[in-house]
């Protein structure tokens, strides 16, 4: 066997040391940035206006409860709407043009008072005559979980929009994304998922630290939580198994030559329900991704970072169908199920405490209340999916 020359060893050693030094300097800069209390400015979102004139004929010709709720007819006949004046209600969720034989676009994203879908994505679908389902307005109930999962299971394409998610502070966009990716579904158009979680999390406050509801006993800032949240999703999307399969597409803007709207018009086959592009990644490959995410968990400081890994794993088990297959494919599935059981018990206790503390919807909620509610919605959704699989005996 030929050994490496001493000069080669010396050169390689210096290169490795240089890389380690550079990595340490980058990590130190990141720590300094994360420790700053300043919040970076984000795009102004008010007032959000839309002129429905380009699709007014569709509103008139194919009137429906959904469209009437999204764009209530005006007595004076004007077509300009200030969306900040229109509330998002249960009636704002549903299928267009109808549910029968639907295999259209699932419109995921922030589920609170973020009107981007009503302002941008839905008008593009109406103008392009692309069937869609919007879950905005659905609540944290068993019935509504079924409505959401039915649409996720039947869609031929999904758009998940992370823009302005600081308006919501929930995890609904990530929830939609991990549900689909856990199934091996990759015909996804993802808008503004942070590329650099450390920098993108600077738009969140860093002053108040909240105790983790799960995982390490620690107090973590909102900024750190969003960093862990973004990091998990970014690492998931960057997995070669997903990036090398035709289907997954990312956009940094809605308009423009490289925007999502341009793609919807010029590459219609990616969004048209008549062209089924529901590409699947094998269960074996997805299991390898789960194992990779678990290894990366050593750097996670917050509860949400761990919850996402557990939820992704459980949704993956929900696509395996038999315990014998789970034994062969993911031998550690019982450990994962044990983690999920503990997580659900913790979340159920928090939910019980929330219900016994009668808080009016108009009351000011603390950061802790908002975070707890977001965790409850995420875990209860995954729990509902898990309970629909008899072979998991959950």
Q: At a CB cut-off of 8 Å and minimum separation 6, what does 43 contact?
A: 164
Q: How far is CA 181 from CA 166, 283, 374, in A?
A: 23, 11, 20
Q: How far is CA 108 from CA 172, 224, 284, 310, 344, in A?
A: 8, 24, 27, 21, 24
> In whole angstroms, what is the distance from residue 263 CA to residue 388 CA?
36
What digits encode the pLDDT tens for the residues 180-207? 999 999 999 999 999 999 999 998 888 8
Closest among 138, 86, 128 to 105, alpha carbons compared: 128
Q: Is the pLDDT of residue 299 over 90?
A: no
Phi-psi region of 107 (alpha: psi -120 to 50; beta: other; left: phi over 0): beta
What digits encode the pLDDT tens for the residues 1-46? 445 555 555 555 656 666 555 655 545 455 555 555 555 555 544 5
Across the chain, what does the average pLDDT equal?
A: 87
- pLDDT over 90, % of the chain: 64
Angle, helices 142-154 vs 367-387, to 10°: value is: 70
Closest among 43, 132, 42 to 93, alpha carbons compared: 132
What digits encode the pLDDT tens for the residues 107-140? 999 877 788 999 999 999 999 999 999 999 999 8
Extended strands (E) in 25-75: 49-51
Q: Where is pLDDT greater, at 99 or 46?
A: 99
Q: What is the pLDDT of residue 1?
A: 47
Q: What is the pLDDT of residue 42?
A: 55
Average pLDDT over residues 246-259: 91
> In whole angstroms, what is the distance from residue 307 CA to residue 318 CA?
16
Q: Is the pLDDT of residue 267 over 80?
A: yes
* Residue 266 structure tokens: 């010029």
Asked if 236 and 185 count as a contact pair (C-beta separation under 8 A), the reply is no
What digits encode the pLDDT tens for the residues 146-174? 999 999 999 999 999 999 888 778 899 99
Give residue 361's pLDDT band: very low, low, confident or very high (50, 70, 90): low
Q: Where is pLDDT greater, at 179 or 27?
A: 179
Extended strands (E) in 26-183: 49-51, 80-82, 94-96, 105-109, 132-134, 157-161
Q: What is the pLDDT of residue 250?
A: 95
Q: What is the pLDDT of residue 168?
A: 79
What pTM was estimated for this model as a whole?
A: 0.88
Around Cβ 385, how many Cβ atoms within 10 Å? 22
Q: What is the pLDDT of residue 34?
A: 54
């Amino acid at each position: 066997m030929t050994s490496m020359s001493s000069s080669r060893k010396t050169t390689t050693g210096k290169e490795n040391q240089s890389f380690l030094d550079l990595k340490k300097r980058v990590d130190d800069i990141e720590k300094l940035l994360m420790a700053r209390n300043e919040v970076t400015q984000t795009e102004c979102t008010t007032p959000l206006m839309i002129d429905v004139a380009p699709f007014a004929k569709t509103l008139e010709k194919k009137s429906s409860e959904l469209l009437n709720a999204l764009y209530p007819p005006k007595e004076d006949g004007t077509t300009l709407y200030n969306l900040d004046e229109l509330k998002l209600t249960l009636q704002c969720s549903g299928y267009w043009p109808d549910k029968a034989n639907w295999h259209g676009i699932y419109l995921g994203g922030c589920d609170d008072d973020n009107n981007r879908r009503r302002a941008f994505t839905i008008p593009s679908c109406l103008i392009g005559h692309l069937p869609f389902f919007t879950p905005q307005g659905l609540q944290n109930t068993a019935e509504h979980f079924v409505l959401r999962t039915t649409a996720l299971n039947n869609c031929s394409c999904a758009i998940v929009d992370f823009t302005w998610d600081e308006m919501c502070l929930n995890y609904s966009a990530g929830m939609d994304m991990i549900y689909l990716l856990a199934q091996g579904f990759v015909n996804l158009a993802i808008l503004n998922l942070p590329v650099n979680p450390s920098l993108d999390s600077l738009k969140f406050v860093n002053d108040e630290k909240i105790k983790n509801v799960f995982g390490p006993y620690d107090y973590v800032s909102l900024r750190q939580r969003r960093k862990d949240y973004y990091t998990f999703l970014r690492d998931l999307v960057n997995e070669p198994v997903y990036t090398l399969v035709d289907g997954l597409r990312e956009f940094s803007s809605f308009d423009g030559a490289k925007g999502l709207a341009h793609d919807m018009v010029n590459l219609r086959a990616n969004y048209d329900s008549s062209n089924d592009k529901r590409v699947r990644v094998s269960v074996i490959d997805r299991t390898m991704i789960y194992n990779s995410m678990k290894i990366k968990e050593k750097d996670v400081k917050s509860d949400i970072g761990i919850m996402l890994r557990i939820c992704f794993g459980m949704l993956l088990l929900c696509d395996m169908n038999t315990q014998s297959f789970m034994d062969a494919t993911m031998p550690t599935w019982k450990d994962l199920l044990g983690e999920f059981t503990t997580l659900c018990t913790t979340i159920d206790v928090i939910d019980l405490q929330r219900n016994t503390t009668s808080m009016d919807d108009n009351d000011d909620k603390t950061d802790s209340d908002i975070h707890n509610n977001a965790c409850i919605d995420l875990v209860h959704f995954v729990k509902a999916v898990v309970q629909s699989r008899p072979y998991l005996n959950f």
